[in-house]
Protein backbone atom coordinates (compact mmCIF):
# COMPACT_ATOMS: atom_id res chain seq x y z
CA UNK A 1 0.00 0.00 0.00
CA UNK A 2 1.26 3.48 -0.74
CA UNK A 3 -0.21 6.95 -0.97
CA UNK A 4 -3.41 7.76 0.90
CA UNK A 5 -4.98 5.16 3.17
CA UNK A 6 -7.44 2.85 1.50
CA UNK A 7 -5.55 2.67 -1.80
CA UNK A 8 -3.81 -0.50 -2.82
CA UNK A 9 -0.66 -0.76 -4.86
CA UNK A 10 -2.78 -1.45 -7.94
CA UNK A 11 -4.52 1.94 -7.57
CA UNK A 12 -1.45 4.20 -7.66
CA UNK A 13 2.13 4.23 -8.89
CA UNK A 14 4.60 2.45 -6.65
CA UNK A 15 6.25 5.01 -4.38
CA UNK A 16 7.18 2.43 -1.72
CA UNK A 17 8.09 -1.21 -2.22
CA UNK A 18 8.16 -3.20 1.01
CA UNK A 19 8.81 -6.67 2.38
CA UNK A 20 8.49 -8.20 5.82
CA UNK A 21 6.00 -8.20 8.68
CA UNK A 22 5.75 -4.42 9.05
CA UNK A 23 4.32 -2.52 6.08
CA UNK A 24 5.73 0.92 5.28
CA UNK A 25 3.21 3.48 4.03
CA UNK A 26 4.18 6.78 2.45
CA UNK A 27 1.52 9.47 2.90
CA UNK A 28 3.09 11.57 0.10
CA UNK A 29 2.60 10.22 -3.43
CA UNK A 30 4.45 10.73 -5.74
CA UNK A 31 7.59 11.94 -3.99
CA UNK A 32 9.86 14.53 -5.60
CA UNK A 33 13.05 16.27 -4.44
CA UNK A 34 12.18 18.98 -1.89
CA UNK A 35 8.98 17.26 -0.69
CA UNK A 36 8.41 16.55 2.99
CA UNK A 37 7.66 12.85 3.34
CA UNK A 38 5.54 11.32 6.09
CA UNK A 39 5.99 7.63 6.79
CA UNK A 40 3.69 5.44 8.88
CA UNK A 41 3.76 1.70 9.49
CA UNK A 42 1.28 -1.13 9.80
CA UNK A 43 1.77 -4.59 11.25
CA UNK A 44 -0.67 -7.49 10.98
CA UNK A 45 0.95 -9.02 14.03
CA UNK A 46 0.35 -7.07 17.20
CA UNK A 47 4.05 -6.48 17.59
CA UNK A 48 4.99 -4.97 20.91
CA UNK A 49 7.32 -1.96 21.06
CA UNK A 50 10.02 -0.70 21.07
CA UNK A 51 11.07 -0.49 17.42
CA UNK A 52 14.11 0.94 15.69
CA UNK A 53 13.64 2.79 12.41
CA UNK A 54 16.62 3.54 10.16
CA UNK A 55 16.50 5.46 6.86
CA UNK A 56 19.40 5.55 4.39
CA UNK A 57 19.85 8.11 1.63
CA UNK A 58 20.44 7.02 -1.99
CA UNK A 59 24.18 7.47 -1.27
CA UNK A 60 23.94 4.81 1.49
CA UNK A 61 24.37 7.16 4.48
CA UNK A 62 22.08 6.70 7.50
CA UNK A 63 20.46 10.10 8.06
CA UNK A 64 17.64 9.09 10.41
CA UNK A 65 17.83 6.51 13.18
CA UNK A 66 15.29 6.54 15.96
CA UNK A 67 13.87 4.27 18.66
CA UNK A 68 10.06 4.32 18.67
CA UNK A 69 8.03 3.53 21.78
CA UNK A 70 4.89 3.21 19.67
CA UNK A 71 4.41 2.37 16.01
CA UNK A 72 3.20 5.42 14.04
CA UNK A 73 0.14 4.06 12.22
CA UNK A 74 -1.64 7.23 11.14
CA UNK A 75 -4.67 6.27 13.23
CA UNK A 76 -6.06 8.56 15.95
CA UNK A 77 -3.97 8.48 19.14
CA UNK A 78 -1.00 6.80 17.42
CA UNK A 79 2.53 8.14 17.51
CA UNK A 80 3.26 10.90 14.98
CA UNK A 81 4.44 9.94 11.51
CA UNK A 82 8.16 9.87 10.76
CA UNK A 83 8.83 12.88 8.54
CA UNK A 84 11.83 14.17 6.62
CA UNK A 85 12.55 16.36 3.61
CA UNK A 86 13.87 14.62 0.51
CA UNK A 87 17.11 16.23 -0.68
CA UNK A 88 18.16 14.02 -3.60
CA UNK A 89 16.53 11.74 -6.17
CA UNK A 90 16.99 7.99 -5.92
CA UNK A 91 16.03 5.11 -3.66
CA UNK A 92 15.82 5.65 0.11
CA UNK A 93 16.06 2.43 2.13
CA UNK A 94 13.80 2.19 5.19
CA UNK A 95 14.28 -0.48 7.85
CA UNK A 96 12.06 -0.98 10.89
CA UNK A 97 12.91 -3.67 13.43
CA UNK A 98 11.27 -4.78 16.67
CA UNK A 99 14.00 -4.44 19.29
CA UNK A 100 13.10 -7.49 21.38
CA UNK A 101 11.53 -9.76 18.79
CA UNK A 102 11.65 -11.00 15.24
CA UNK A 103 9.17 -8.65 13.56
CA UNK A 104 10.72 -6.39 10.91
CA UNK A 105 10.04 -4.60 7.68
CA UNK A 106 12.20 -3.33 4.85
CA UNK A 107 11.13 -0.82 2.23
CA UNK A 108 12.46 1.30 -0.61
CA UNK A 109 11.09 4.81 -1.15
CA UNK A 110 11.45 5.87 -4.79
CA UNK A 111 12.10 9.60 -5.31
CA UNK A 112 11.89 11.28 -8.71
CA UNK A 113 13.65 14.43 -9.93
Q: What is the pLDDT along the chain (113 residues), one digit of tens a residue?
A: 344 434 344 434 468 999 999 999 998 888 999 999 999 999 877 788 999 999 999 999 999 999 999 999 999 999 999 999 999 999 999 999 999 989 999 999 999 88
Domain boundaries, the chain: 16-111
Please name the helix (run of DSSP H) or strand (run of DSSP E) that holds residue 92, with its range, or none: strand 90-98
Dihedral of the alpha carbons of 38, 44, 47, 52, in degrees to the nearest 10: -30
pLDDT at 5: 39
**CATH number assigned to the domain covering 16-111:** 2.60.40.10
Nearest to 24 by CA among 48, 67, 55: 55
pLDDT at 8: 42
pLDDT at 88: 95
pLDDT at 22: 95
Amino acid sequence: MCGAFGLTSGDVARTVDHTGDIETICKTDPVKVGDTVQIVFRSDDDASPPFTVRIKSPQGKVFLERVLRDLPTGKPQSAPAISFTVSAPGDYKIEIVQLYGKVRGDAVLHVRD
